[in-house]
Amino acid sequence: MSSSRKDALGYLEHASDQLRTVLDGTSRRVLFIPYAAVSFSYDAYETLAAPPFEAVDAQLTSIHHHNDPVAAVREADVIAVGGGNSFALLSRLYGAGLVDEIRRRMTEAGTRYIGWSAGTNVATPTIRTTNDMPIVEPPSFSALGLVPFQINPHFIPGKPQGHNGESREERLAEFTVINPGEEVLALVEGSALHVTDGHGEILGERKALVFTGGAPVRDIRPGQRFELGELSGPVG
């Protein structure tokens, strides 16, 4: 998911259908990873994130209650990674020995993954397209790599009045120029990427954008499926 909020709605209030889509046919017990929180406690984050999951008949429990976080991940059927600061999140995932473990659970055990904001950034190959300030230095920018392309959550087109710096479009174009062959999926707030069986689909009401070096920006409409290895080539 691009964001925890959409417009004036409450925390994950917009995401009920998106959560149901991911949780369909699996356990309703969700392991929450709050490591992106910086200015508030993990307990407070769990209290904030639990009600939207309860609304879709799921029980969310934070990993910080477990003495062995690696064992908690190994036993999880659904993992939810919340937003906050992507650099702090990735640094703490490495510190807890969870980067490889989460990736293994996703690819080998079929564990479901739900992320929003920073939790979406770490699902990509690296966190190089996050909007966050690098308040800490993780051991590596390499992340979970659950999809083969970069994602830019919280995408806002254009420039606010009075802003004289680069737009988000310009920043992402710079990334694709200096990293030839890499693509970036830009998700506006309220939208999400749903991945199943090697294909992706945009959930929500708003289109996503694809940035590729040397090519015009392309749209992916909500409900339009595409192969993960061919982000620029929708299949239906």
Q: Which of 2, 3, 86, 154 is catalytic?
A: 154
Q: Which two tokens stand for residue 74?
A: 């190994």
Q: Which of 3, 62, 86, 117 is catalytic?
A: 117
Which burial class, exposed, middle or buried, applies to 199 when counting CB atoms under 10 A from its CB (0-12, 13-18, 19+)? middle
Q: Confirm whether 91 is a catalytic residue.
A: no
Question: Quick one: which of 173, 134, 135, 131 has its CA closest to 152?
Answer: 131
Taking the C-alpha atoms of residue 149 and residue 134, their distance in angstroms, rounded to an integer, is 21
Taking the C-alpha atoms of residue 135 and residue 25, their distance in angstroms, rounded to an integer, is 39
Q: Kind of pairing, strands 192-196 and 218-220?
A: unpaired
Q: Which of 62, 86, 91, 132 is catalytic?
A: 132
Taking the C-alpha atoms of residue 141 and residue 122, their distance in angstroms, rounded to an integer, is 9
Q: Which two tokens stand for residue 104?
A: 């293994």
Taking the C-alpha atoms of residue 72 and residue 146, their distance in angstroms, rounded to an integer, is 19
Q: Confirm whether 117 is a catalytic residue.
A: yes
Q: Confirm whether 132 is a catalytic residue.
A: yes
The residues assigned a catalytic role are: 117, 132, 154
